[in-house]
Chain A
Amino acid sequence: MEYVSPEGLRLDGRRPKEVRQLKCELAVLHRADGSAYLEMGNTKVLATVYGPHEVSQRSQSLHDRALVHCEYSMATFSTGERRRRPKGDRRSVELSLVIRQSMEAAILTHLLPRTQIDIYVQVLQADGGTRAACINAATLALADAGVPMRDLVASCAAGYLNGTPLLDLNYVEDSAGGPDLTVALLPKAEKVTLLQMDSKLPLDTFEAVLGLAMDGCKAIAAHMRQALLEHTRKQAVVRGPVRL
């Protein structure tokens, strides 16, 4: 199948190095300490953060840093086929772990010893790149909650189809069976906190795809930072001028 036409357009009309339309909204749920809603194309994700709060199970408490807890789930209606998705299946467990690890790399956990931070990420609609979208939403929710972080973690997937590296695969491209690489990046330090790929690629191609994914992360980070700034500005207006 042809995923990139000789005219250089992908099936949905993007060019190979373009990400899908990105939309994010912060503080969408007021009861939570932090929350964010994020769309990458048709992939829609909601992330909520509770904490930092006292560790609910004393025994798990860490004396030198915060305990990060993460739970990933997928809404029944998130794919075309409605299916009950049991909690705690292998994929959810794996994804929870992946999100937690990327967040732990960004959160300054040593500033919050003996506390717990809960991150809940729910996929409302899945259209490829859910992993990346979850990470991005979680970062924004953490920022909204005011959790101290080194940097925003931005994540993006890239693939390789028809001999072309493609950025931010959608569901159709994702199910083509080609290599699919998800990267999470701390953009300021250019530090990769997550790199996952489930197939083989020759080294030179891999480097091209990785480079593309990292560029994607940076673009997404810029967009998220902008959204965060606007949100803060709005909040400043709502709360009135800051008096020193």
Chain B
Amino acid sequence: MYQQKQFFKKTRGGKILKVHREHYLRDDIVCGSLACTTCAHGDSTVLSSEAAQYLLIDTNVALHQMDLLENAAIADVIVPEVVLSEVQARNKAIHGRLRLLVADKSRRFFVFSNEHHKDTFVKTEKGEIVNDRNDRAIRRATTWYQSHLAGKTPDVLLLTNDADNARRARDEGAAAQTVYAYVQSRTDKPELLDFVARTGDTGGEAAGPSAEGDAGPQAKRRMLYAEHKGMAELTAGLQKGLFHQGKLRVNRFNCFEAYVGSQSVGKEILIQGREDLNRAVDGDVVAVELLPPEQWKGPEGGIFREHDEEEEGVAENAEEGAGLAPEIAEDAPGAALENLDIGKEGGRVPTGRVVGIIKRNWRNYAGSLEPMKGPGGSGAMAHPLFVSVDRRVPKIRIQTRQLANLADKRIIVAIDKWDRTSRYPEGHYIKTLGDIGDRATESELLLMENDINTRPFSQAVLNCLPPLPWSVSDADVAKPWRADLRNLRVCSVDPIGCRDIDDALHCTALPNGNFEIGVHIADVTNFVHPETPLDLEAADRGTSVYLVERRIDMLPKPLTEDICSLRADVDRLAFSVIWEMTPSADIVKSHYTKSIIRSSAALSYPEAQARMDDPHMSDPLTEDLRNLNRLAKIMRQRRTERGALTLASPEVKFEIDTETHNPLDVGMYQIREANQMIEEYMLLANVSVAEKILKHFPSCSLLRRHPVPTPQMFEPLLRTAAAVGIELDVGSSKALADSLDRAQGSDPYFNKLIRILATRCMTQAVYFCSGELSPPEYHHYGLASPLYTHFTSPIRRYADVVVHRLLAAALNLTPLPERTRDKKSMHDLSDGLNYRHRNAQMAGRASVELHTLIFFKDRAVDAEARIVKVRSNGFIVFVPKYGIEGPVYLTKKPDKGAGPDPNDDFVVDEEHQTITSKDKRQTYKVLDTVTVHIEVQEPQPHRPKLILTLASDSKEQDGFA
């Protein structure tokens, strides 16, 4: 307990406070080197004794060169504590990555607690600013290491891009180098140069040659953008109300149009054009200045965009291809646009320009290089432009020595900086994913873009699994609270080929004429214990992700497919909800218990349906299914009467070649009665459990709610419906459900189409912690239920795992984990789960989109489509059979600089949602049926797009024309 005190004074808040903090200096801080003979060696002694040198990094190197540091060729790095805490204060994400590097023992990163070492602590001198003091502390740590390890093999090298700091270090007798110089000296790894970030560090010898150095010295170059205002000026401006702060969200259709949702204006502020966007990237928190009202603009109409890359010379066909049809509001591109009340103020909305960046939100971007004119000689430095697959992101200029290798590859790139003089942000290459268009590469890319963890489970996680092969033990049977239900006739019904069977059912006719119905859910929490590595990993993954050709599991395979899966003819542990129901589906009593079951059949939906439909089958199991179905229908009817919505989404199903994993056929996913039956019991179980856990834990239950859509969100639907003469009442979910039932058109698909469009107006249901909202806000709009949660899929959703623990605690089986009791961590958990859930859905959709593209690559087909939106130069169609949606152009794209095309002879009637040719011979109206030709085109090599055109047999007349 060696101790000595130093005192720091700090001021905070408006008041000046005198704060004393104790600061203990120690003599037991180790250097972490295996070569050292004086320090104690332990777990954290990672620095190799064979290393040529140890690198000691300063704060800016950690902040800006993380991609380089993450490269496996960089090892034996000393991170002084002062650097770590500076990084933590300035960039949480980088701090997290640095911590991961330190935690990975194989990378040999060591944190040296210099601030608490008696010999390396430096006191702030009078008048010295914090940065200088910290630089001095870093240099002191370097010299300490040098003398501490004197005479042993590895040298210590200070890596800093600050020239002044490097010079001082040399004066003090320490070795110091810039990152660029160091990487150049690593002749064993020339490819490291690609990873060096080009940052605007101070000092002349900084970070190597500038990418556009050939354009002359920086000072002489044209300023393309206005200067960003400093933090002090921004803060003052924000306080005075001159500027408005908000997160920038770029339009998916047009990367030069963005919105900032500002609380101080109360409306979305539109920002248009490269100059006004002023180097802000999607997700950045920016300060915006409003333009004078006479300069306000409306969002641009039309369905396609020019990319104004005049100087690039490479012709680019920026026409939008077709894609997967959106399911809910968040899926639709340009969703933000639709919600603005355009047209009421002459189409003008508050418009502004970015004056400063409050917080950057740069991440890694996946995409490919823009084809370059002229060949890039191998090995020579080239400066190609990178195009992200995320269309909201601007092109990024990178430098590389391996242009030929990267040309047709999907790669990952990070932004380093964006100077006023450079049109594009500058960045650096991180890694290659694979060939463009390759199914595996594109799948990996869509997983990465959705932040999905595909790494295999770590050994620590696998160690948490029970020994295999696992089976129900006598100890399990002996537990007094575990009911033995193996005598019941339980079965499961799932999609074809389902291996992770979460749920099973039973239905027994009781002597009193009632039915006993049980929903049995895999007892995952019997194996996943709180706070174990397995639990933490599952919590982080949040959900399993289902792509067309593969599944990324939340839990390791033995649990997912075997131990937890309620397979047929084996004993399995379950968590059961059991009701007694009258023949009219009224619940007489309900009961919750952990149990052991033995499923007698694992059916698929078609199998279950066939059994129920086949009049010759009358075995007990089939009779059970029929009883279940009969009761489910009554419950469904009741739910609909309460106002639950029957929504529809354009789900498609691929038939996949087992060898090549390529799609063989695609079609609408068929919903059977059996699906609806199972859904009904799952809903019932979820609602029952929600009520139970909320009763016991009113402040920390994990529930799921579906917010009531705002009237504006229904506007597109109402416009469309009004155009075809249908009135919809969106006043309540009940009113909407009824008016949807009444909306019948001339063909049977019409009603489904309206439902699909209605579903698109809604937002996603979300998880939340019950303590954070008031009970009326718990409401689930779509299900018209005051309470809802997720209980029935614990194998593939972490929310259900938490709910299982809540239910077990409510039954006094296990204590509630500490983390579940804490409101703050439950808040973070539900945020995280919502994020993961959303991403999993996006990834699933992207995967379907990818396979659609592959499917149509070798076959062009004609298909029936419905017009869902009329635009100034064409319309957007939805193709039910394939679930795709995309634009059909009636007019040619106008040439650059030219005025409106004289052949542009179509007139749009916004109110009636029609587009008519000038000669009045052709009229297209929203919801009309047309035949479209679907075909994959490659406007540029390796950049295939799905293009929809009007089939030559034109339009089928159906009475509206």
Residues of A whose CB lies within 8 Å of any CB of B are: 2, 5-7, 9, 11-14, 18-21, 41-42, 80-81, 125, 127, 170, 172, 200, 202, 205
B113 adjacent to A9 (CB under 8 Å): yes
B residues 77-125 near A (Cβ < 8 Å) are: 81, 88, 99, 102-103, 111, 113, 115-116
Q: Collect the chain A residues with CB atoms within 8 Å of residue B19's CB.
A: 80
* B6 vs chain A, min Cβ distance (A): 10
* B20 located at the interface, meaning its Cβ lies under 8 Å from any Cβ of chain A in the complex: yes
* B536 vs chain A, min Cβ distance (A): 12
A21 adjacent to B818 (CB under 8 Å): no
Q: Name 9 A/B residue pairs within 8 A (Cβ), A-sorted.
A: A6-B102, A7-B111, A13-B25, A19-B1, A21-B1, A42-B22, A81-B17, A125-B20, A202-B818
B3 adjacent to A21 (CB under 8 Å): yes
Q: CA of A12 to CA of B20 in the docked complex: distance in angstroms?
A: 11
Choose from B15, B18, B23, B818 the contact partner of A13 (Cβ within 8 Å).
Answer: B23
* Closest A residue to B819 using CB positions: A163
B99 adjacent to A6 (CB under 8 Å): yes
B22 adjacent to A12 (CB under 8 Å): yes
B24 adjacent to A14 (CB under 8 Å): yes
16 further A-B pairs in the complex, CB-CB below 8 A; given A2-B88, A7-B113? A5-B81, A6-B111, A7-B81, A9-B113, A11-B21, A12-B21, A13-B23, A13-B25, A13-B115, A21-B3, A42-B21, A80-B17, A80-B18, A80-B19, A127-B20, A170-B22
Q: Collect the chain B residues with CB atoms within 8 Å of residue A80's CB.
A: 17-19
Q: Collect the chain B residues with CB atoms within 8 Å of residue A9's CB.
A: 113, 116
* B821 located at the interface, meaning its Cβ lies under 8 Å from any Cβ of chain A in the complex: yes
Q: CA of A41 to CA of B3 in the docked complex: distance in angstroms?
A: 10
**Dominant SS among interface residues on chain A:** loop
* B815 located at the interface, meaning its Cβ lies under 8 Å from any Cβ of chain A in the complex: yes
Q: Collect the chain B residues with CB atoms within 8 Å of residue A127's CB.
A: 20, 22
A18 adjacent to B821 (CB under 8 Å): no
* Closest A residue to B32 using CB positions: A7
Q: CA of A19 to CA of B260 in the docked complex: distance in angstroms?
A: 51
Q: CA of A186 to CA of B19 in the docked complex: distance in angstroms?
A: 34
Q: Collect the chain B residues with CB atoms within 8 Å of residue A14's CB.
A: 24
Q: Collect the chain A residues with CB atoms within 8 Å of residue B1's CB.
A: 18-19, 21
B17 adjacent to A13 (CB under 8 Å): no
* B44 located at the interface, meaning its Cβ lies under 8 Å from any Cβ of chain A in the complex: yes
Q: Collect the chain A residues with CB atoms within 8 Å of residue B25's CB.
A: 13
Q: Collect the chain A residues with CB atoms within 8 Å of residue B113's CB.
A: 5, 7, 9, 13
* A125 vs chain B, min Cβ distance (A): 8
B818 adjacent to A205 (CB under 8 Å): yes
* Closest A residue to B111 using CB positions: A7
* A15 vs chain B, min Cβ distance (A): 9
* B615 vs chain A, min Cβ distance (A): 58
Q: CA of A9 to CA of B111 in the docked complex: distance in angstroms?
A: 12
Q: CA of A81 to CA of B14 in the docked complex: distance in angstroms?
A: 12
A42 adjacent to B818 (CB under 8 Å): no
Q: CA of A215 to CA of B634 in the docked complex: distance in angstroms?
A: 65
Q: Collect the chain B residues with CB atoms within 8 Å of residue A13's CB.
A: 22-26, 113, 115-116
Choose from A2, A6, A7, A20 the contact partner of B22 (Cβ within 8 Å).
Answer: A20
Q: Collect the chain A residues with CB atoms within 8 Å of residue B88's CB.
A: 2
* A207 vs chain B, min Cβ distance (A): 14
Q: CA of A200 to CA of B815 in the docked complex: distance in angstroms?
A: 13
| Range of interface residues on B (Cβ < 8 Å) | 20 to 34
Q: CA of A41 to CA of B512 in the docked complex: distance in angstroms?
A: 74
* Closest B residue to A21 using CB positions: B3
Q: Collect the chain B residues with CB atoms within 8 Å of residue A81's CB.
A: 15, 17
B111 adjacent to A42 (CB under 8 Å): no
B18 adjacent to A12 (CB under 8 Å): no
- Given the known A-B contacts A81-B15, A200-B821, are A42 and B20 also in contact in the complex, defined by CB atoms under 8 Å? yes
* B22 vs chain A, min Cβ distance (A): 5
Q: CA of A42 to CA of B20 in the docked complex: distance in angstroms?
A: 8
Q: CA of A7 to CA of B46 in the docked complex: distance in angstroms?
A: 13
* B5 located at the interface, meaning its Cβ lies under 8 Å from any Cβ of chain A in the complex: yes
Q: CA of A205 to CA of B15 in the docked complex: distance in angstroms?
A: 38
Q: CA of A42 to CA of B818 in the docked complex: distance in angstroms?
A: 32
* Closest B residue to A20 using CB positions: B22
* A198 vs chain B, min Cβ distance (A): 16
* Closest A residue to B11 using CB positions: A80
* Closest A residue to B816 using CB positions: A202
A6 adjacent to B103 (CB under 8 Å): yes
Q: Mark B815-833, 1 if CB is under 8 A from A, else 0.
A: 1001001000000000000
B residues 522-546 near A (Cβ < 8 Å) are: none
Choose from B18, B21, B815 the contact partner of A172 (Cβ within 8 Å).
Answer: B21
Max count, chain B CB within 10 A of own CB: residue among A6, A13, A170: A13
Q: CA of A64 to CA of B323 in the docked complex: distance in angstroms?
A: 92
* A31 vs chain B, min Cβ distance (A): 30
Q: Collect the chain B residues with CB atoms within 8 Å of residue A19's CB.
A: 1
A7 adjacent to B815 (CB under 8 Å): no
Q: CA of A213 to CA of B207 in the docked complex: distance in angstroms?
A: 53
Q: Collect the chain A residues with CB atoms within 8 Å of residue B18's CB.
A: 80
Q: CA of A125 to CA of B20 in the docked complex: distance in angstroms?
A: 10
* B606 vs chain A, min Cβ distance (A): 48
Q: CA of A21 to CA of B24 in the docked complex: distance in angstroms?
A: 9
Max count, chain A CB within 10 A of own CB: residue among B1, B102, B818: B1
Q: CA of A224 to CA of B19 in the docked complex: distance in angstroms?
A: 28
* A227 vs chain B, min Cβ distance (A): 16
Q: CA of A11 to CA of B88 in the docked complex: distance in angstroms?
A: 14
Q: CA of A21 to CA of B815 in the docked complex: distance in angstroms?
A: 38
Q: Collect the chain A residues with CB atoms within 8 Å of residue B103's CB.
A: 6
Q: Collect the chain B residues with CB atoms within 8 Å of residue A2's CB.
A: 88
* Closest B residue to A19 using CB positions: B1
Q: CA of A81 to CA of B12 in the docked complex: distance in angstroms?
A: 12
* A118 vs chain B, min Cβ distance (A): 31
Q: Collect the chain B residues with CB atoms within 8 Å of residue A172's CB.
A: 21
* Closest B residue to A80 using CB positions: B17
Q: Mark B279-316, 1 if CB is under 8 A from A, else 0.
A: 00000000000000000000000000000000000000
Q: Collect the chain B residues with CB atoms within 8 Å of residue A41's CB.
A: 22
* Closest A residue to B115 using CB positions: A13
Choose from A11, A21, A125 the contact partner of B5 (Cβ within 8 Å).
Answer: A21
A7 adjacent to B23 (CB under 8 Å): no
Q: CA of A87 to CA of B489 in the docked complex: distance in angstroms?
A: 74
* B101 vs chain A, min Cβ distance (A): 12
Q: CA of A205 to CA of B81 in the docked complex: distance in angstroms?
A: 30
The 8 A-B pairs at the shortest CB distance, nearest first, are namely A13-B24, A13-B116, A80-B17, A12-B22, A21-B3, A41-B22, A42-B20, A7-B111
Q: CA of A97 to CA of B5 in the docked complex: distance in angstroms?
A: 33
Max count, chain A CB within 10 A of own CB: residue among B20, B23, B102, B821: B20
B residues 651-674 near A (Cβ < 8 Å) are: none
* A222 vs chain B, min Cβ distance (A): 12
* Closest A residue to B84 using CB positions: A5
Q: CA of A6 to CA of B25 in the docked complex: distance in angstroms?
A: 18
Q: CA of A9 to CA of B117 in the docked complex: distance in angstroms?
A: 11
Q: Collect the chain A residues with CB atoms within 8 Å of residue B21's CB.
A: 11-12, 42, 172
Q: Collect the chain B residues with CB atoms within 8 Å of residue A200's CB.
A: 821
B111 adjacent to A12 (CB under 8 Å): no
Q: CA of A116 to CA of B815 in the docked complex: distance in angstroms?
A: 49
Q: CA of A125 to CA of B22 in the docked complex: distance in angstroms?
A: 13
* Closest A residue to B817 using CB positions: A202
* B533 vs chain A, min Cβ distance (A): 14
Q: Collect the chain B residues with CB atoms within 8 Å of residue A42's CB.
A: 20-22
* Closest B residue to A2 using CB positions: B88
* Closest A residue to B3 using CB positions: A21
B818 adjacent to A12 (CB under 8 Å): no
Q: CA of A88 to CA of B285 in the docked complex: distance in angstroms?
A: 50
B111 adjacent to A202 (CB under 8 Å): no
Q: CA of A67 to CA of B773 in the docked complex: distance in angstroms?
A: 53
Q: Collect the chain B residues with CB atoms within 8 Å of residue A11's CB.
A: 21
Q: Collect the chain A residues with CB atoms within 8 Å of residue B3's CB.
A: 20-21
Q: CA of A125 to CA of B19 in the docked complex: distance in angstroms?
A: 11
Q: CA of A19 to CA of B22 in the docked complex: distance in angstroms?
A: 12
* Closest B residue to A79 using CB positions: B17
* B14 vs chain A, min Cβ distance (A): 12
* Closest B residue to A204 using CB positions: B815
* Closest A residue to B44 using CB positions: A7
